[in-house]
Amino acid sequence: MHRTRARLSDGREIVYYDETPGRAPVADPRGLPPVEPRCEIRRDPLTGDPVTITAHRNARTFLPPADRCPLCPGGPDSEIPDASYDVAVFENRFPSFHGVGRCEVVCFTDDHSASMAVLSVSRVRTVIDAWADRTAELTAIPGVEQVFVFENRGVEIGVTLHHPHGQIYGYPFVTPRTERMLARAGAHPGLFGEVLAAERAGSRVVLSGAHWTAYVPAAARWPVEVHLMPHRHVPDLAALDPDERDELAVFYGDLLRRCDALYDTPLPYVAGWHQAPAGAGRDLLRLHLELFSVRRAPGKIKYLAGSESGMAAWLNDVPPEETAARLRDALI
């Protein structure tokens, strides 16, 4: 993997991750004014949960036609000036955080019609290396408390760009979900290892290798939900060794293809990497992927109604054991 840094015309950073060396970045011809986001973090006084108010994001680009895609290389509206790229990462023009914290866009390929599921193993490996590199860099930024790498895919999820891409948030706080996991792990040392051992001995394993296991969790919230966890306790993507990254590159594409085969149509999903915070708790929280979908059956979507949205008390209409069996058989 070869890294090349450059700047867009408004001063935002762009980083290219190429499989071969020799890139000479093209200058951004757009002459954009500096980004002036309006971000404010408030705390719910009843729960303590942070809520970020981002008025400028309401004007962000929304499902443009392919010839106006800002993630395709070299076009008049492109955020990526070069004529081609392998993987490109740039600071989001419509960030959720500003001043403290950072938001980046990760483009997996310059092919507008592709998806992560159909990329070569070598390209997925490059994406993994880019995720790991960005995780290390963002974790080192003063004020960043936690780094979240994720992909939203499908209009049912709410994506605003069709081009295959993901995002990285450098939160200026530890998220509520992570705080709950840290509290559980702190009260129960070895929790993640015990959960993994129990799942590997059960009926919900989808994929298992030398370094990784993919399984549908016993208490899955979503109709399609898969966790992918390394066998070794590591805090984040940056801590994975080469062998773990190699197997992950194979497993990740395989898992996504199984998901797409469930309903004979591309599955809308969120795939997010839970990583340990930048400070305390790095010995408690084990890196793992959580992939979930709102699709519960062909043509049917699970909407978060009163119990889930109002009380965070989840109801799942699909038994996790059934989902695991269907994913195991999906590519047969």
Q: How many residues does the chain have?
A: 332
Q: Report H helices in the chain.
A: 121-139, 176-187, 191-200, 242-261, 311, 320-329
Single-letter amino acid code for the residue at 277: P
Do 293 and 300 contact (CB within 8 A), yes or no? no
- The active-site residue out of 162, 165, 274, 288 is 165
| Amino acid, res. 329 | D
Report d(CA 101, CA 139) in Å as an integer: 10
Q: Structure tokens of 288?
A: 């793992």
**Is 165 designated active site?**
yes
> 323 near 216, Cβ under 8 Å?
yes
Residue 104, both tokens: 């980046």
Residue type at position 27: A
Catalytic residues: 165
